[in-house]
Structure 1
Amino acid sequence: MKQLSWLLGAGLALAAVQQQLLLKRPPHVRQLDSSTLSSGPAALNVEFSRPMQRNSVASASELSPRMRRQWLGAGNLLRLLLEPGQTIAGPLQVVLRGEDQRGIAISPERFWWDPRPRLLVVAPGPEGDRLDILQRDGRWRTLSRANAPISSVTPLGNGSGIAFSTSGERTEQTWLLELEQQAVYRSKTPKLVVKGLKQLLDAQLTFTHFSTNSTGDLLVQWGAPGFARSFTTLVEANGQRRRLDLEASGTAQLLPGGGALIAPEADGLVLSNLPGRPQRRQFLPGSRDLSSFCPTGGRALLVRRWPDYRQSIELLEPGQAPKQLWIGLDAVMGTACERSGERIWLLLTHWDPVKNTQTPRVIAMSRSGVIQNQRELKGWELETRSHFELDSTRDVLLLTLRNPKQKWGRAAELQASDLELSIIDKPIKQAFWLPAQ
């Protein structure tokens, strides 16, 4: 009995010693996550092994090149937020320092952080289209080749892959190109690895439409020969698949933050939760289409169609009626939104029936609808299925333009502030931002 008591006492003493040793060990970083869904150009979420003194981390840590920033959060979860009005021209070097709440200093953690998205294009080839990406060193790299035209492309919202469809004579096939990339890395040469290509839906389809969110979920709406209705499959980021009972009259979109989708019905738009969440259904009446989401604040931009063929842009804010920002006879080809709607951009086209030409125009406006800047892109036409999206890290808008005298389009970057145009001289069909992971 005495021997058992001695063993128990020795075990307790050993556990106490181990606990004290662990408490005296310096804290360390458990996980780093980059995000561009923030009120600034980017944010870095840091999970420590112990609760930290936020002021100590903020004052002791370094960022090079220097940028205005602030630290948010408490305990072992802190967030490095870059303040608005800045652009990221290249990788940022971060050195994390500071003390935990017991006054023990963390061993300095040094790494590189590059939240900038990569330019992804569909490029024509002699045997079929290619998915090409512009690398950090300025060289192009082919990620995937197709023996057919690539009809639609959607980079996953977490940067872990690219969903695309290839079209044959009457049918389409859907594919997922799986990627591995790093927005946070220890060396100055981050790698982008192609993990593999797999077929998303094992069927010949009549059409496909993709939508994604920031967590990497993928919504696939598709049709099959012999069926009068469309079908919807949700491919979750963990690989699990769900068939959704979605009766939509048009294309559905996943909300950026995850957990819900918005879809058009005959008399309006319906917001509903995805499976696994409490049932919710909110209805917005009227002939409207979702154009784009704002990164934060739960706001969205809608296109409303009027009986006299005019179109209008409306800002939808939580708990409020849609607010009209613009109305006219030009065709709305796309919209983009900064943060919670502080700045908004419209991509329009004006058709001249006499000259039989269309001229793209970009309008920059405030959240209240006041026009701040606009530019006609004379001498250019919008390429079919031109994407229009803001890169918040560099404050650049992306679209695909085509010179009427050329066969193929070009990726075009517009500085969001002054609408200065820059053309990337590579023949392409479509251009997209691939989010950093």
Structure 2
Amino acid sequence: MNARLPFALALSAGLVLIQQQILLRQPPRLAALSQQPIHSGSAALDLRFSRPMDHTSVSTDSRVVPALSHRWLGTNNPLRLVMDPGEAITEPVQLELAGEDLRQKRMVTQTWWWEPRPWLVVTRQVEGGEQLQLLDHDGHWRPLSPVWKQITKLTPIGNGRGVAMVSSDGEAREKIWLRHLKRQSLAQQRQLLQPPQPEQLELLAEKEVLFGHLSSNLNGDLLLQTGGFFPGSERLELIKANGQRQSLNQVSSGPMELIPSGGGLVVPLYDSLSLRPLVDNGRPAQALPGNRELGAFCAASGRAVLIRHWPDYRRSIELVIPGLAPRQLWVGEQAVLGVACDGNGERIWAVLGQWSGDRGIHSILLLNGEGTPLKQQPLAPWSMKGGTPVQFDPVSRQLLMTVIQPNKRDSHPALMDAQSLEWRRILAVDVGESQWLSP
């Protein structure tokens, strides 16, 4: 037995060496392809290979169809493909991936199809109440929920894997739901690209609540802020992307928001706005004094846009850059109904409102990161529905709003060109709210 042991060990080592040589002689291959939510461009993919690749070879030999401006980032493995901002993507992108590894062995060319455009989700008015629906890129509406009396909140999950919502029975009793979705935005054949497919409908809060506020980050975490029918029944819970739940102990004066990159949340207080970590790290919280509210995150840069309310009833729009004092971009007596920004915080859109007689007049203002007005356009004959957001999509270069007309009850999803501020399309469906869902 002892005489055979050295022979067995030598044989095993030889087999491992032979296997290594066989693997080294094989061409490199693409091991993983995934969409990257935080990036400096309009859309991005992360590519991981079986072996370190030559960056220049991959960049030169791979093709993007249509020929959109793009960049390859990274040293050798993994690499990131970033679509440059400024050019709208109006159709699925075809990728022909090729190149050599560091040993100059060529990868077999692979063809992939990628759908980087977001999906439009709405709470649509239907017979019997409201229903969550998704509009696919062929113009078809797809139901994602049962019909409830009312849907009071709509929050797409940041990684595109679901939509959270709050349903109401019309008598101040609410339930919180999560519709899980299966993403199919990457495929090796174009016909296999499909809109998100509905999966499990999960009830997130077992008991009915008096109110529910939801927030999500790009990691796919979901924050539940709820209040019951009795004093002291308020709850704050974090549901992580993997399904784990964590109770949080945090007091606020209003709705809290998760920061896009994860790890923290924005907490409104009566005299300030505070940025706090989800896990106590022993450091003092960062706070901005004054009556401020969060307007929008500029996810790629860590910047944010705030709306400040002054004692003399003026409002101002501020850009917050990490490590610097807030930069005031605009101040005036008009109401700031909603704001949006691009990923770098270099373009900021604000919907402003003022009253003329018995009706509100709304306009949209485009500013740069220094506060210089670039363009302003009236929304007439439309106005933005109160309590709904304005959102920017860097892929299609569009703004999304929910709009209404004076003396009419119907409200509609509306798409606007982010540069010219001209309407592209106003959909002829009656909705409560409309938002983007990441692919």
* TM beyond 0.5: yes
Q: Distance in 2 between matches of 1:135 and 1:280?
A: 46
In structure 1, the residue corresponding to 2:430 is in which secondary structure? strand
The aligned counterpart of 1:77 is 78
Q: Cα distance, 1:277 vs. partner? A: 6.2
Q: Please report how far the alpha carbon of residue 35 of structure 1 lies from its aligned counterpart in structure 2 after TM superposition.
A: 2.9
Q: One-letter code of the match for 1:121? A: V
Q: Are positions 1:419 and 2:421 aligned together?
A: yes
Structure 2 residue 208 is the aligned partner of structure 1 residue 204: yes
Q: What value does the CA root-mean-square deviation take over the aligned residues? A: 1.5
Q: Aligned partners of 1:309 and 1:229: how far apart in 2?
A: 34
Aligned to 1:216: 220
Q: Does 1:260 align with 2:264?
A: yes
Q: Does 1:10 align with 2:14?
A: no
* Displacement after TM superposition at 1:175 (Å): 0.4
What CA deviation, in whole Å up to 9, does each residue of 1:217-243 have, x standing for no partner?
001111000125632111110001111
Query: What secondary structure sits across from 2:317 in the alignment?
Result: strand
Distance 1:290 1:216 in 2: 20
> For the residues of structure 2 that align with 1:113 and 1:144, how far apart are their CA atoms?
27
Deviation at 1:136, TM superposition (A): 1.9
- Could you tell me the TM-score, scaled by structure 2's length? 0.96
Alignment correspondent of 1:346: 350
Which stretch of structure 1 is more off in the superposition, 2-11 or 78-87?
2-11
What are structure 1's unaligned runs of at least 5 residues? none
> 1:286 pairs with 287, 290, 293, which one?
290
Deviations 1:357-395 (A, max 9, x none): 012210001101010011111112322322210010011
Q: Are 1:303 and 2:304 counterparts?
A: no
Q: After superposition, where does 1:327-338 map in structure 2 within 5 Å? A: 327-338=331-342
Unaligned runs of 5+ in 2: none
Which residue does 1:47 correspond to in 2?
A: 48
Residue 279 of structure 1 deviates from its aligned partner by: 5.2
Whole-Å Cα distance in 2 between the matches of residues 376 and 306 of structure 1? 25
Write the distance in 1 (CA, Å) between the matches of 2:432 and 2:253: 28
Task: State the alpha-carbon separation in 1 of the partners of residues 216 and 9 from structure 2.
Answer: 56
- Tell me the equivalent position of 1:391: 393
Superposition deviation, residue 25 in structure 1: 1.5
**SS of the residue 2:58 aligns to:** helix
Deviation at 1:280, TM superposition (A): 5.5
Residue 26 (structure 1) shift:
1.6
CA distance 1:276–1:11, change in 2 (3 Å) = farther
1:430 match: 433
Q: Relative to 1, partners in 2 of residues 1:37 and 1:5: Cα closer, same or farther, differing over 3 Å? A: closer
Question: Structure 2: how far apart are the matches of 1:361 and 1:7?
Answer: 80
Note if contact 1:375-1:419 (Cα within 8 Å) is conserved in structure 2: yes
The SS at the match of 1:129 is strand
SS of 2:374's partner is strand
Alignment-mate amino acid for residue 14 of structure 1 = L
Shift of 1:127: 1.2
Q: Distance in 1 between matches of 2:281 and 2:20?
A: 40
SS of residue matched to 1:414: strand
CA distance in 1 between counterparts of 2:67 and 2:282 reads: 44
State the AA in 1 paired with 2:246.
R
1:248 aligns with 2:231: no
Q: Which amino acid aligns with 1:99?
A: E
The number of residue pairs the alignment matches comes to 434
Q: Which residue of 2 aligns with 1:172?
A: 174
What is the Cα deviation at residue 315 of structure 1? Answer: 0.6
The answer to whether residue 377 in structure 2 is matched with residue 379 in structure 1 is no
Q: Tell whether the 8 Å contact from 1:259 to 1:277 is kept in structure 2 after alignment.
A: no
Q: Which amino acid aligns with 2:189?
A: S
1:240-286 Cα deviation digits (max 9, x unpaired): 11110011111111111111111111221111111386755212111
SS in 1 for 2:429: strand
Range 403-412 or range 122-131, more displaced: 403-412
In the aligned structure 2, how far is the partner of 1:26 from the partner of 1:365? 50
Provide the C-alpha distance between the structure 2 equivalents of 1:48 and 1:277, rounded to a whole number of angstroms. Answer: 36
- Cα shift at 1:22: 1.1
- Counterpart in the other structure of 2:161: 160
Aligned twin of 2:90: 89
Whole-angstrom distance in 1 between the partners of 2:135 and 2:300? 28
Residue 329 of structure 1: how far off its partner (Å)? 1.5
Aligned in 2, Cα 1:279/1:194: closer, same or farther, shift over 3 Å? farther
Higher mean C-alpha displacement, 269-278 vs 5-14: 269-278
Counterpart in the other structure of 2:372: 370
Q: Deviations over 1:126-175 (max 9, x none)?
A: 21201111112111111112331000100000000000001120211110
Distance 1:304 1:384, change over 3 A: closer
User: More deviation in 155-164 or 329-338?
Assistant: 329-338
The correspondence of residues 16-165 of structure 1 with structure 2, limited to 5 A, is: 16-165=17-166
1:278-327 CA distance string (max 9 Å, x none): 75521211111111111222111111101111111011111111111111
Distance 1:389 1:105, change over 3 A: same
Q: What is the letter of the counterpart of residue 13 of structure 2?
A: L
Instruction: Quote the sequence identity (%).
Output: 37
What is the alpha-carbon distance in structure 1 between the residues aligned to residue 43 and residue 148 of structure 2? Answer: 38
Q: 1:6 offset after TM fit, Å?
A: 2.4
The more displaced of 399-408 and 276-285 is 276-285
Q: What is the distance in 1 between the residues matched to 2:233 and 2:350?
A: 32
When structure 1 is superposed on structure 2, of 268-277 and 114-123 the one drifting more is 268-277
Conserved in 2, the CA contact under 8 Å of 1:146 and 1:166? no
Structure 1, 55-64 or 75-84: larger mean CA deviation: 75-84
> Residue by residue, what CA displacement relative to the aligned partner does 1:394-417 show, whole Å, maximum 9, x if unpaired?
110000111224321111111000
Aligned residue identity for 1:211: S
Q: Is the 8 A contact 2:37 2:159 kept in 1?
A: no
Query: In structure 2, do the counterparts of structure 1 residues 255 and 278 end up closer, same or farther at CA, with 3 Å as the change threshold?
Result: farther
